[in-house]
Structure 1
Amino acid sequence: MTDPTRTPNTTANNSSPADTEEMEEYAGGTIQSRHGYIPMWLLVVYAVLFIWALYYLVVYWGGLGPGRV
Structure 2
Amino acid sequence: MTTPSTPTPSTPQSDGPSHGSDPDHEMEEYAGGTVQSRHGYIPIWLLVVYAVLFVWGLYYAYLYWGGVGPGRIG
Fold in common (TM above 0.5): yes
Higher RCO (CA-CA < 8 Å; seq separation 6+) = 2
Task: Map Cα deviations across residues 23-43 of structure 1 (whole Å, 9 max, x no partner).
Answer: 110011111111100011110
Structure with more of its chain in strand, by fraction: 2
- Structure 2-normalised TM-score? 0.62
Cα 1:37–1:3, aligned 2, differ >3 Å: closer, same or farther?
farther
Cα RMSD, aligned residues only:
2.5
Count of paired positions: 59
> Gaps (5+ residues) in structure 2?
1-11
Structure with more of its chain in helix, by fraction: 1
Identity of aligned residues (%): 62
- Structure 1-normalised TM-score? 0.66
Which of 13, 28, 31 is 1:2 aligned to? Answer: 13
Distance 1:34 1:8 in 2: 12
